[in-house]
Amino acid sequence: MRIAIRGLGELCITAGLVLLLFVTYELWGTGRYTHQQQDRLGKELLNNWRSQRVTTEHVKLGSGLAMIRIPRFGTKYKYVIVEGVDLADLRKGPGHYPGSAMPGQIGNFVVSGHRTTYSAPFNRAAELRDGDQILIDTRDKQYVYKVTGRKVVQPTTVEVTAAVPFKPKDKPTKRLITLTTCNPKYSAAQRLIIFGELSAELPRRA
Amino acid sequence: MYAWIWRHLPGQWPLKTAAAAALVAVLATVLWYVAFPWLEPKVQFDRGVINTPSAPATPDRR
């Protein structure tokens, strides 16, 4: 009896240690994969931009589309935005919702990213204030968006990804950006949405 | 369990300690590089996507 109880206790302690290690892996171990993928995608994207433009430019799911910089998060903050928002896409970095507008276009350029795990590109999204810049570099231009608002919504609130957020039937006239991420941190109960609007177009920065 | 393992490790205590540390390291490595990457997609707790019912490309696989 005593042996059984001791064995059970030891098993519980072991399970606890394994769980701790798993949490460590989730929060920091997963970032290593994202960093590798970001390095690769960044090089691919720059090579692609340097080469001749093909007449019908179509970004494949899972490959790089644009570069995002947010000065509020520091000068080193830079991620390649991938096309697609599947689990596999978001592991590589922030993902662009296929079908939503491309950077600089009239409509809504919608990007989703991890708040925690996988290098957590949008970890500090809640710190963004109205007027903060979101810089999107593409082949030709850098689009400077300014934050215009934010909102916490339910995960099923698809209206925020519409060309005109919350008015899915309206015809878009503005050039908007929308960032979506998890809320609160370490949970997926809600979504934190950051809205922005194009304020300037500059020459591209690599 | 741990007492049993300790009894079956070879040598005196310095060797036993080294063998025990090696066992722990091997176990941690297997968990980190094999077990956790396999398990992680199944328990995803961080998902920032708005679930679009009309877009099959973004199913909710939380």
Q: What is the DSSP string of A26-92?
A: IIIIHHHHHHHHHHHHHHHHHHHHHSPPPSS--PPTTSEEEEEE-GGG-TT--EEEEE--SHHHHHH
Please say if the pLDDT value at position B60 is more than 70: no
pLDDT tens series, chain A, 206 aa = 888 899 899 999 999 999 999 999 988 889 999 999 999 999 999 988 888 776 566 778 888 999 999 999 999 999 999 999 988 899 999 999 998 999 999 999 999 999 988 999 999 999 999 999 999 999 889 999 999 999 999 888 888 989 999 998 888 999 999 999 988 888 888 899 999 999 999 988 76
The answer to whether the Cβ–Cβ distance between B46 and A11 falls below 8 Å is no
What is the nearest CA distance from B58 to chain A, expressed in angstroms? 6
Q: How much is the pLDDT for A56?
A: 60
Let me know if A12 is a catalytic residue: no
Let me know if A182 is a catalytic residue: yes
The answer to whether the Cβ–Cβ distance between A87 and B44 falls below 8 Å is yes
Q: How much is the pLDDT for B43?
A: 76
pLDDT per residue as tens digits for the range A138-177: 988 999 999 999 999 988 888 898 999 999 888 899 999 9
H/E element, B11: none
The answer to whether the Cβ–Cβ distance between B40 and A11 falls below 8 Å is no
What is the nearest CA distance from B62 to chain A, expressed in angstroms? 9
Whether A123 and chain B come into contact, CB under 8 Å, resolves to: no
Contacts of A167 (CB under 8 A, 6+ apart): A159
Q: What is the pTM of this model?
A: 0.82
Find chain B residues with C-beta within 8 A of A123's C-beta.
Answer: none
Report yes or no: A45 and A78 within 8 Å, Cβ to Cβ: no
